[in-house]
Amino acid sequence: MTLPYAEVIGDPISHSKSPLIHKFWLDRLGISGDYRRAHVKAEDLAAYIESRRGDADWRGCNVTIPHKIAVMDHVADPGGVRASIGAMNTIARAEDGTLFGTNTDAGGFFAPIAGLDLEGRPVAVVGAGGAARAVLFALSKAKIGPVTVLNRSPLKAMGLLAAFGLKGSAKPLDAPLPEAALLVNASALGMTGQPPLDLDLSPLPDDAVVYDIVYSPLETALLKAAAAQGLETVDGLEMLIGQAAIAFSLFFGAAPPEGCEDELKALLTQ
């Protein structure tokens, strides 16, 4: 008997937490299926996609560094992801067997803050890389006020504001924060092995939310400083689990089980 399965592909891939998340949900739902890591080098991407295209048990894959852009040349793009976010992190199979790509990072990022009232309120985002693109795309769909993007290279930040039709400004990393209702760190700063993100949070109002998408470490210095100031915080595992949840439904046709988020988070931080 064959089993439906999905994979996560990248180079390197051994660090990926995706198998843990998807296998936890498969087990909880009692779905007979599997989720594997596949070490795919850049030069082997086309052959990998071709080999899986004909394998009906293969339901799709998550895509990580360095394939998020190159994979767009191999699959259909019904949602116009190439022209919007410009990178795919998930490949799935349509009912007619066609492989299509999408990006679940934007939805995964927005899920934990969907209940916030951000209408017309200023937002600050640190970073202008791949993750920041997904974050700014998601924010461009909400009715937020002006967006300040702080980045080592402000020119890159300016390009992203224009690409997503957002009003606001691009600033260097040492610029003071605006009175933002939401501050998002979408840069690599604060991640294990990277320099810290050192911001003065005092301009933020008391009801501001500070969201760090970095998940290693889980409690970054930014989140610690925000909590010490009495601000609400959202950690990077929320987005990681959120993007995986959308992909899981595409692969296995079922939503992840409810009520076991804390158990999953504990498993991911062991």
**Of 4 and 148, which CB lies nearer to ligand NAP in the complex structure?**
148
Q: Is 58 in the site for ligand NAP (CB under 6 A)?
A: no
Determine how many CB atoms are found less than 10 A away from the CB of residue 54.
8
Catalytically active residues are: 68
The one segment of 12-20, 137-145, 211-219, 221-229 that binds ligand NAP by CB under 6 A: 211-219
**Of 8 and 58, which CB lies nearer to ligand NAP in the complex structure?**
8
Angle at 247 between CA 99 and CA 41, to 5 degrees: 65
Taking CB under 6 A as the criterion, the residue among 18, 90, 148, 187 binding ligand NAP is 187
Taking CB under 6 A as the criterion, the residue among 151, 177, 199, 256 binding ligand NAP is 151
**Of 40 and 128, which CB lies nearer to ligand NAP in the complex structure?**
128
Determine how many CB atoms are found less than 10 A away from the CB of residue 172.
11
Nearest in space to 111 (alpha carbons), one of 23, 243, 266, 257: 243
Chain Cα centroid distance, residue 51: 27
Q: Is 213 in the site for ligand NAP (CB under 6 A)?
A: yes
Least distance between ligand NAP and beta carbon 250 (Å): 16
Q: How far apart are CA 183 and CA 23, in angstroms?
A: 32
Q: Is 138 in the site for ligand NAP (CB under 6 A)?
A: no
Taking CB under 6 A as the criterion, the residue among 80, 195, 230, 259 binding ligand NAP is 195
Q: Is 188 in the site for ligand NAP (CB under 6 A)?
A: yes
Q: Strand 90-93 and strand 58-63: pairing? A: antiparallel
Q: Is 240 in the site for ligand NAP (CB under 6 A)?
A: yes
Considering CB under 6 A, how many residues would be counted as binding ligand NAP? 25
Task: For 177-205, give the DSSP string.
Answer: P---SEEEE-SSTTSTTS-------TTS-
CB-side exposure of 172: number of CA atoms within 13 Å?
1
**Of 49 and 128, which CB lies nearer to ligand NAP in the complex structure?**
128
Q: Segment 118-137, which members bind ligand NAP (CB under 6 A)?
A: 127-132
Taking CB under 6 A as the criterion, the residue among 236, 245, 246, 251 binding ligand NAP is 236
Q: Is 152 in the site for ligand NAP (CB under 6 A)?
A: yes
Q: How far apart are CA 200 and CA 41, in angstroms?
A: 41
Determine how many CB atoms are found less than 10 A away from the CB of residue 74.
17
Are the C-beta atoms of residues 149 and 132 closer than 8 Å to each other?
yes
Are the C-beta atoms of residues 198 and 175 closer than 8 Å to each other?
no
Burial of 214 (0-12, 13-18, 19+ CB in 10 A): buried
**Of 7 and 235, which CB lies nearer to ligand NAP in the complex structure?**
235
- The binding site for ligand NAP (CB under 6 A) comprises 105, 127-132, 151-153, 156, 186-189, 191, 194-195, 213-215, 236, 239-240, 243
